[in-house]
Amino acid sequence: MNRTAGFFLCCILSVIWGNIVFAQDYNPIPVAMPSLQFAPDARGGGMGDIGAATMPDAYSQHWNAAKYPFISTQSGVAFSYTPWLSKLVSDIHLLYASGYWKPGNDNLDAVSASLRYFSLGNIDIADMNGKFWQTVSPHEFALDLAYSRRLSETFAGAVTLRYIRADYSTGDNETTPGNAFAADLAGYNESYLYLGHTEMLLGLGFNLSNIGTKISYDGGTNSNFLPTNMRLGVSLGYPISKDHTLSFSADLNKLLVPTPQLAMEGETAEEAQQRIDDYQGVSSIEGIFKSFGDAPGGLKEELQEIMWSVGMEYTYLNQFSVRTGYYHEAEYKGNRRYFTFGAGFRMKTFQVDAAYLISTAQTNPLDQTLRLSLGFDIEGIRNLLQ
């Protein structure tokens, strides 16, 4: 990536990574650190970016850490790689690692952590005369730690603490690295129900993520909202036979961030600046409550701010899986709309997953991109080596 303008292009794409619709009433919700929203793993990515209530796995840290107490293994780690804008450049990517450990034999609690690194590549910066000045590597980084525990036979809760850092520095005094802290509150319920004579597994989950401070890239002069988000999910596992299982899942997402107020006809420069200052002055906690009823278009626009996704997974012998899903975001709120496809293979000690995205809108940074994930069962590896 060898261009000065590339830095600004990447920042714009990282702030609103969906498709831009040039219309007067286009009113997406701007957030900092948008990479915190990106689906990091190929399993959830293969089902339309779903994970609030799907069966627990090593990738659960991003979707819902409360699922870990229900996982069948004692410990595990997982790694994922997702290229970004792969049709244009080769050095923009998301790297993700997660792991969990269940300290007791009673399967009541779990400790988990993850590391997320989103690189915007190496960018050559030129001076005022167009001569090479220096190379910078803007990036976004997040490290989190979670504790989850079963509170009943079917329900578990989790708390996640997160440190966030974004560095878009270009070597001048106008841009500084931004730091923030956030927390997630999550819950997951796993129970069985009967449809006729068939016993099915029902999963229900929620995750309130990135509740925390704002982040600033200019030393505190201006601050930006983190992508505080409410995710609700449901999943139903249907055993077709002893060897075949089919599951259906759905997630709803809503950013808990205030909606920008659109410019009014005849608005003066002073009024416009006051409108911007009022938006900037909203605290992150106040913004959570305002986000449910501040859309300029009223209830219709509030409903447009809800993103939804549906997915399906077929599993054979609990080893081989194929997946598909669809993700939908309103046209004037980001316009992310795409189908996903995926597959996975699991052995006693590891699992590998892949996902492929096909956008139904004009542009998408992940369109026709293959993402990969690899997970390991630590206990299985230990037993294999003995």
pLDDT score at 278: 86
pLDDT at residue 385 is higher than 60: yes
Mean pLDDT, the chain, rounded, equals 86
Instruction: Render pLDDT for 265-274 as a digit per residue (tens, 0 to 9).
Output: 778 888 788 8
Spatial contact of 42 and 344, defined as CB atoms under 8 Å apart: yes
What mean pLDDT do residues 151-155 have? 95
pLDDT at 264: 78
Mean of the pLDDT values across residues 90-110? 89
| Cβ pair 102, 109 in contact under 8 A | yes
pLDDT at 316: 95
pLDDT value at 15 more than 60: no
The architecture (CATH level 2) of 5-385 comes to: Beta Barrel (2.40)
Mind spelling out the 3-state secondary structure of the chain?
A: CCCCHHHHHHHHHHHCCCCCCCCCCCCCCCCCCHHHHCCCCHHHHHCCCCCCCCCCCCCHHHHCHHHHHHCCCCEEEEEEEEECCCCCCCCCEEEEEEEEECCCCCCCEEEEEEEEEEECCCEEEECCCCCEEEEECCEEEEEEEEEEEECCCCEEEEEEEEEEEEECCCCCCCCCCEEEEEEEEEEEEEEEEEECCEEEEEEEEEEEEEEECCECCCCCCCCECCCCEEEEEEEEEEECCCCEEEEEEEEEEEECCCCCCCCCCCCCHHHHHHHHHHHHCCCHHHHHHHCCCCCCCCHHHHHHCEEEEEEEEEEECCCEEEEEEEEECCHHHCCCEEEEEEEEEECCCEEEEEEEEEECCCCCCCCCCEEEEEEEEHHHHHHHHC
pLDDT at 2 over 90: no
Of the listed ranges 14-28, 342-356, 368-382, the one predicted with least confidence = 14-28
For 181-216, write each residue's pLDDT tens digit.
999 999 999 999 988 788 899 999 999 999 999 998
Residue 5: is its pLDDT beyond 90?
Answer: no
Residue scoring higher pLDDT (148 or 25): 148
Higher-confidence residue: 264 or 292?
292
Confidence of residue 220 (pLDDT cuts 50, 70, 90): confident
Does 21 score more than 50 pLDDT? no
The pLDDT of residue 218 is: 80
Q: Is pLDDT of 180 > 90?
A: yes
Q: What is the mean pLDDT of residues 287-316?
A: 93
Confidence (pLDDT) at 270 = 85
How confident is the model at residue 107, as a pLDDT?
83
Does the pLDDT at position 71 exceed 70? yes
Residue 12 pLDDT > 50, yes or no? no
pTM over 0.75: yes
Span 89-113, mean pLDDT?
A: 89
- What is the tens place of the pLDDT at every residue in 104-137? 788 899 999 999 999 887 665 655 665 655 666 7
Greater confidence, 20 or 202? 202
Domains in the chain: boundaries:
5-385
